[in-house]
Structure 1
Amino acid sequence: MAPYETEDSQGAGQSALRRKAVRYAVPVAVVGVAAAAIGLVPALADSGDPDLPKVTAQELIEKIAASDTEQLSGTVKIHTDLGLPSLGGAASSFGGGGGGGGKDSSSADPKEKLTELASGTHTLRVAADGQDRQKLSVLDDASEYSVIHNGDDLWAYDSASDEAYHATTDRAAGKDQHKPRGSEAPATPKELTDEILKASGDTTSITVDGTAQVAGRDAYRLQIKPKQSGSTVGAVTVAVDAKTGTPLKFTLTPASGGAAVVDAGFTSVDFGKPAASTFDYKPAKGTKVTEADDLPAQDRQGKVPEEFKGAEGLDGLKVIGEGWTSIAELKLPKEAAGLASGAGTADMPGDAQKFLSSLGDRVKGDFGSGTVYSTRLVNVLVTQDGTVYAGAVTKDALVKAADAG
């Protein structure tokens, strides 16, 4: 169906609407253990273009902001293509001990699973009942991993290893917050949409791009595009439930074309109240239970690889530019600069240095030389002196920022 209109964002009034849209209609905090870059396979979600009353982009943003959906359950099919190999095996080296649940870690720790969902295809079951009860389950062929937020408790259980992880929410610690500690990453279509609208401004074009049917429900397609050149983001398309205003699907396509980098949404969804038993969990006899508060502080935050010891001393982050072409600049510690820039270290064998250099593209400019590491969405330039420039921007934009710096 052809687009209804081509209305861009309009000044302060539109910005106010975006800020209003940032509040979570379904604050599925537990679902935040899934990476921001997750989503639904479109072929499983879409089935025709329903005939719906015309709406403007402003009206559709208002509809998202006014959505009061706090109860739902459904199935999510995740496919993410950042142009990286699967991170499942590597995640353990950064997550605090590995999939086997070492002495000071647990394979059920949500941080262990977060990077696994950042690539490939996964099936999830999600449920929410207001701010205090949410559940997410990652389904594999022979196992299941679940994260359950119920009141003041956050439980995670990995059936493959028969390990459980337990933490308490910030609210239980006396803070007026509803999200469990360590679960801030957005993952539902609603949360992803809020993050995009929050970051939007005069640098963004927002239009209504026809209709779709997602998980058997009629929806409008809200299309969000950068106005700036130099961004690797082509467009973000959000399917918004025509009745409730709840985002059902979130798709991010790269400026370079091809398959979506992120494609997030539901294959089935029910807006009824889930059964209270959905959020009940008690470890079975023999299950190894790890308490978050019993872990050393460094394991709660994630272990730092030996090569990057001293990274806690990173210089303060600086942001260059604005909107879609924002670039983060920071300084690596000396211990990590040589490795990250692809230059290696003085005691590194020549073959190892060549292999390290082959992982990225060598670039030169007024700043000197460095290496650009690329995905389909994010590019990172590490200069020989250990300065890092990163953003959802082109390589040329990074080199330009480094030259200006």
Structure 2
Amino acid sequence: MAPNASDDRTPTAPAGEPGPARRRAARYVVPVTVMGVAAATIGLVPAIASSGDPDLPEITAAQLIEKIAKSDVEQLSGTVKVTTDLGLPDLGGLESGLASGALGQGGDGSSADPSAKLTELASGTHTLRVAVDGPDRQKVSVLDGSDEYSLIHNGKDVWGYDSKSDQVFHGTVDEEAGEDGGKHRPPATPKDFAEEALKAVDDTTSVTVDGTAQVAGRDAYKLVVKPRQSGSTVGAISIAVDHETGMPLKFTLTPASGGAAVVDVGFTKVGFDRPAASTFDFTPPEGAEVTEEGDLEKEAERHAGKDSGKDAGRPGKAPESEGGPAGGLDGMKVLGEGWNSVATFDTGGPGLPADGTGSTGSDLDGFLGSLGDRVKGEFGTGTVFSTRLINALITEDGTVYVGAVTKDALVKAAEGAK
């Protein structure tokens, strides 16, 4: 393996080093995105070849970040293997029902709706087949034995097809939203994850090049990003960067507590030829049930109206016009800096009492309360819900504090906010 220079410096690099590259990487708009993975909770099992590490030219961390920023790959196809280990409790299928309710579907939505279907990627191991041809055409298929779920973006149209239920979802991209495609923006490739991580690079961050590897049959450098601060649940982020194209091929996030990776996403097979145009063609199969996006939105509004009527009689439940959930999220604030940042907002309603009984004494509220740890502080009382990466504190008055920080750091941040 060739010697690869480590660069443990932060963005204020000395003269001669491309320090601004990190800032450019943080602003860089990725032209290549793939539909089908949910919010930073997907992963890939290791795909490092056993034949030895490739011998590549020496490169600094600043130069490697600049290489990522300059990557202009717009066509690709390949296979991604996804594994997630957030350490979530087994809710016996309850999480699917909660996700459906949170989406306002009341359990009546289409199984092909991507906003609901892709929550299944939040745990376990999955195989995805992906294809990309610029910002207007992407396809991802989630393979599950003989069953398959496909999400296709082709021009204005977005199609979701669940072969198991023979249901189809159809939506459209808001052209005024630009390349992001509005709410239908495909969430992520390893490159998207990498650039989100690089936004955190500042004086609180260590960045080094840790040798080379082979990923999906391609030679790559390994960029390692670590918090300098104590209190973060992030141990390290490793990004395998393709030597030839500069495109991240693999992204791995390991927790400070050790053990298996929490998030590890990348390719097991990848090629950069333009996929055939027919790859992105879709016609609903004969007899399939087709649900239009507008129909789902109307159904969500109908259920939201019912829920609003129920909440009106609850003690302490503020009407939306007086600062309900939407208003509370709009008022979100960030406490602290760097890797120890904590987001806080007011839900506009009662929280989860620390006695675990729930605001209405319901079995569900009591069950949820039992999953967390009860805490007290300057903020009053509350419950901390923990995963291997994210901790969230819900106080009795309905204030939420959430961040990739330890339980102690989260409670300290909440106390400092009062």
Give the TM-score of the pair, scaled to structure 1. 0.88
Compared CA separation, residues 29 and 216, structure 1 to 2 (3 A) = closer
How far apart are residue 306 of structure 1 and its match? 5.4
Which residue in 2 is equivalent to 1:54? 58
Task: Answer with 160-169 or 176-185: which moved more.
Answer: 176-185
1:132 aligns with 2:136: yes
Give 1:384 deviation, angstroms.
1.9
Shift of 1:256: 0.8
Q: Deviations over 1:349-369 (max 9, x none)?
A: 7x8776444211112223222
Q: Specify every segment of 5 or more residues in structure 2 that has no aligned partner in the other structure, as ranges.
A: 312-323
Residue identity (%): 58
**In the TM superposition, what is the alpha-carbon distance from 1:346 to its structure 2 partner?**
6.3
| 1:155 paired to 2:156 | no
Tell me how far 1:343 sits from its aligned partner. 3.7
**Aligned partner letter, 1:90:** E
CA RMSD for the aligned pairs?
A: 2.9
Q: Distance in 1 between matches of 2:294 and 2:162?
A: 19
Query: What are the within-5 Å matches in structure 2 for residues 83-232 of structure 1?
Result: 83-85=87-89, 90-95=95-100, 103=108, 105-171=109-175, 175-184=176-185, 186-232=187-233
Cα offset, 1:35, TM superposition: 3.6
The alpha-carbon deviation at position 388 of structure 1 amounts to: 1.1
Give the deviation of 1:381 after TM superposition.
Answer: 1.0
1:1-400 aligned within 5 A: 4-11=5-12, 14-20=19-25, 22-31=27-36, 33-42=37-46, 44-47=47-50, 48-85=52-89, 90-95=95-100, 103=108, 105-171=109-175, 175-184=176-185, 186-296=187-297, 299=300, 311-314=325-328, 316-334=331-349, 336-338=350-352, 343-345=356-358, 348=361, 355-400=367-412
Amino acid across the alignment from 2:401: Y
What's the CA shift string for 1:109-152, capped at 9, x where partnerless?
11012221111100000000111111000000131000011111
1:76–1:266: 8 Å Cα contact kept in structure 2?
yes
Distance in structure 1 (CA, Å) of the matches to 2:375 and 2:107: 40
Preserved CA contact (<8 Å) 1:124 1:136: yes
Residue 298 of structure 1, CA deviation: 6.9
1:162-189 alpha-carbon deviations (Å, 9 max, x no partner): 1111111121xxx151233434463210
Whether the 8 Å CA contact 2:35–2:188 is kept in 1: the answer is no
Instruction: Supply the distance in 2 between the matched residues of 1:22 and 1:372 (Cα, whole angstroms).
Output: 34
CA shift in 2, pair 1:290/1:300, >3 Å: farther
Once the two structures are TM-superposed, the CA of residue 285 in structure 1 deviates from its matched residue by: 1.4
Distance 1:266 1:302 in 2: 40
Amino acid paired to 1:18: R
Instruction: Give the match for residue 403 of structure 1.
Output: 415
- CA-CA distance at 1:255 after TM superposition: 0.7
Distance 1:204 1:183 in 2: 32
Find the aligned partners of 1:45 and 1:390 in 2 and give their Cα distance: 34
Whether the aligned pair in 1 keeps the contact of 2:11 and 2:201 (CA below 8 Å) is no
Q: Which amino acid aligns with 2:386?
A: S
Tell me, yes or no, if the aligned pair for 1:292 and 1:300 is still in contact at 8 Å.
no
Alpha carbons of 1:353 and 1:142: their partners in 2 closer, same or farther (altered >3 Å)? same
Q: Is the 8 A contact 1:78 1:123 kept in 2?
A: yes
What amino acid is the match of 1:130? G
Cα distance in 1 between the residues matched to 2:394 and 2:144: 37
Residue 411 of structure 2 aligns to a residue whose secondary structure is helix
Task: Determine the C-alpha separation between the residues in 2 that align with 1:96 and 1:167.
Answer: 20
Change in Cα spacing, 1:234 to 1:185, as seen in structure 2 (3 Å) is: farther
Q: How many residues align?
A: 395
- Cα–Cα, structure 1 residues 29 and 90, in superposed 2: closer, same or farther, change >3 Å? same
Q: Distance in 2 between matches of 1:169 and 1:401?
A: 40
Q: Distance in 1 between matches of 2:298 and 2:205?
A: 40
Q: 1:202-250: CA deviations, max 9, x gaps?
A: 2211110110000010000000111211110011000000011010000
Check the 8 A contact 1:342/1:353 in 2, yes or no: no
- For residues 215 and 107 of structure 1, what CA distance do their matches in structure 2 show? 32
Indicate how the Cα distance of structure 1 residues 34 and 347 shifts in structure 2: closer, same or farther if over 3 A, else same. closer
Give TM-score scaled by structure 2 length.
0.86
The structural deviation recorded for 1:305 is 11
